[in-house]
Amino acid sequence: MNQISELGYVHRFVEGDRSGDGLTLLLLHGTGGDESDLIPVGQALAPGAALLSPRGRVLENGMPRFFRRLAEGVFDQQDLTLQTENLVQFIDSAVQLYKLRPDRIVAVGYSNGANIASSVVLTRPRVLAAAVLFRPMVPFVPSTSPNLEQTDLLIAAGRRDTIAGLQETQRLVQIFEKAGAAVTTFWHNGGHELGQDDLEAAASWVLKWRMRP
């Protein structure tokens, strides 16, 4: 598993099982994480899948993020737009370099990583086939709903999350469902941190997604 930066992001790529179904998990860490953080999560959620894990290029007090924020829960919308497009370009380039199936890329994002994954879904609906969003917030409210009728999403939220709370989760679900996405919601009894139940629910969801016709 090499750390490579030729695609514009420092990232790790783990080749998938060549006899498998061509699934690639795009792993997007939270604030302060890096390209190694979610590798074990990806391996647990989808054994045999390829793993593509970039490091966020924006620094906040030395901590990597995928886009800037102005305060807790207040996002820099101009930077979000720019960084979303940068991530889309990274995905497109990685598809070519690593010979990935573009119709089998599923994002797995946590917190800040889940937020930029949501932004990709809302702005470039065909880039991701599906997404697992751990503790996401609303990145922005689209002026016009995209067509997400072919997009499957799992939102894993914490009932006691003080960062991405109940109302925030419900707003995001409404935005996605209004756009036609198939949304499954899982509620963890704790806060913003991930629990084993989150991982088990996500693994079950990914397995069902992989097995569908």
pLDDT tens-place values along the chain, 213 residues long: 556 667 899 999 999 997 789 999 999 999 999 999 999 999 999 999 999 999 999 999 999 999 999 988 889 999 999 999 999 999 999 999 999 999 999 999 999 999 999 999 999 999 999 999 999 999 999 999 999 999 999 999 999 999 999 999 999 999 999 999 999 999 999 999 999 999 999 999 999 999 887
Alpha-carbon Rg for the chain in angstroms: 16
CA 36 – CA 19 distance, rounded (Å): 25
Q: Residue 150 in contact with residue 127, Cβ under 8 Å?
A: no
pLDDT for the residue 1: 52
111 catalytic per annotation: yes
Count Cα atoms within 13 angstroms, Cβ side, for 210.
19
Q: H-type helices in 105-182, by residue range?
A: 112-123, 166-178
Task: State residue 82 phi and psi, 5-degree precision.
Answer: -65, -50
pTM above 0.85, yes or no: yes
Domain that holds residue 31: 3-211
Q: Residue 30 in contact with residue 111, Cβ under 8 Å?
A: yes
Both structure tokens of 112: 């800040």
Instruction: For residue 154, give the nearest of 199, 94, 211 by alpha carbon.
Output: 199
Q: Which of 29, 152, 192, 198 is catalytic?
A: 192
192 catalytic per annotation: yes
pLDDT for the residue 15: 95
Q: Which of 111, 118, 119, 198 is catalytic?
A: 111
Both structure tokens of 139: 């990145």
Q: Give helix then strand counts, H and E, for the chain.
A: 5, 12
Q: Which of 53, 161, 188, 198 is catalytic?
A: 161
Return the bridge partners of 132, or none. 108, 154
Report the CATH number that the domain containing residue 30 is assigned in CATH. 3.40.50.1820
**Tally of domains in the chain:** 1
Burial class (CB in 10 A: 0-12, 13-18, 19+), 93: middle
